[in-house]
Structure 1
Amino acid sequence: MQEILNIAAYKFVAIDDSPVLREDLRERAQALGLMGTILLAPEGINLFLAGLPDAVRSFVAGLRADARFADLETKESWSAAQPFRRMLVKLKREIIRMDHPAIQPAAGRAPGVDAPTLKRWLDQGHDDEGREIALLDTRNDFEVDEGSFDGAIDWRITKFTEFPPALKAHRADFAGKTVVSFCTGGIRCEKAAILMREEGIENVLQLEGGILKYFEEVGGAHYHGDCFVFDGRRALAPDLSARAADASARASEDVGLSSGLKK
């Protein structure tokens, strides 16, 4: 029986009390027996937590009591065992590193497309205006190798800071198309979509909630393989079940978090 609730969530919002908030969140998470990682930066919060369902939901309810996080949305999945080894709350310059200071997601989001609408567009072969869909995978190469959308564009980047120069080299490829950026849980594709709009690319959308929300709402239609995740489960199938993970998979938790790769 799968009894461990796993959640992923992020929000771009101004945070000016990170050291105090760090201690508060760490104490509350530890008191509830949760494990995982929370990243805090001036631009927002990014979190990945796992524990007993009531404990996880109590933590989220407490977080939403803070007006800054009142509309925080979570992606849920289940596992038979705890996929994290410890509880960490880290302070970062960015909750997902792009090294592009002009990008300020808290100042305004790029338009998004929800999972059912994207599936319908892919079913019919174009968007509602008749434009070709260009699916842009904003994740790192080893994540893409685990699985991606059929026909998605993959620039084989090894870290997210490589995305801006890759975009400059390929921006002409998107002329006349509707570009849908996607990633694991939404955070990278949101920054990517904002950058693309700033670069003058028209008709850019982000996949709301990323691959995990797509799996949750419509399953694996138009997707091949699994979705890489940075915890002991290693990858999730389109039904959000965990693939068999070996002991070394837990090490990827530390690698991914230190690189700011998750979501």
Structure 2
Amino acid sequence: MSELYRLQKSMMSFLLEKDDAIQTDIVSTAEVSAKVRLDIYGAGYGYRLIDALSENYPSVHTLLGDDDFYTMSYAYMKAHPSHHFSLRYFGSHLEEFLAKKYSDVPVLAEMARFEWAQRKAFDSNNTAPISMESLQQIPIENWGQLQFDFHPSVSRINFEWNTPQLWAAIDEQLDPIPPEKLDYPLGWVVWRKELLNYYRSLDVDEAWALDSAMQSGNFEGLCEGVCEWVDAEHAPARIAGFLSQWIEDGLLTGLTY
């Protein structure tokens, strides 16, 4: 083990596990002891992680309030310490953490899921969407086996609360609205088009079709499945309408058959 690696490993043990063995490698001064210097650095490290959570989850922060958010953040840091050189991934487990530790406030986990989907959409790779011309060029005999490639930014989410409306009110600094549980879960899709994130709600049949298409379902299978909501005569037109909307939104990046 190199000396540099030993120091790095010892410092991470201090930050993540409060192991003070690194203290012997820190120089004390007349004004500040090695312990105080480490404590200052350790506190700054914790504050930076809290800042990273707040940057990725501003609406979770707003819903909890400052004091409860800081308390939650420290508990999250202990349960899910950062092991990556980038803070980008530090909040990746927040939804499951909130679902377990704050199960009495389920809208918090939903908000974390929504904000993380937006973060993923913003950070996703740039891939050119297809146009309607691409769809029109498919030979009629190949439509049944037609499958779809989706933009890396696309996420499908079901919400049991008015989570997107809560987020919009917070993001746009509107008058606060209360969390409300829906009569039944509502499907949503989140994606990025060019440099902007978008999201919209889905009718139940479109939510099913989008889920199926994202799991390699083909056009024939989509038409069969959507017959749960429309008759067989109108199923192809219904799916074709979904495809047209997905292309307009920029969700599709490729077609295979």
Q: Give the TM-score range, shorter chain.
A: under 0.3
Larger radius of gyration: 2
The alignment's TM-score, normalised by the length of structure 1, stands at 0.23
Higher helix share: 2
TM-score by length of 2: 0.23
Structure with greater strand share of residues: 1
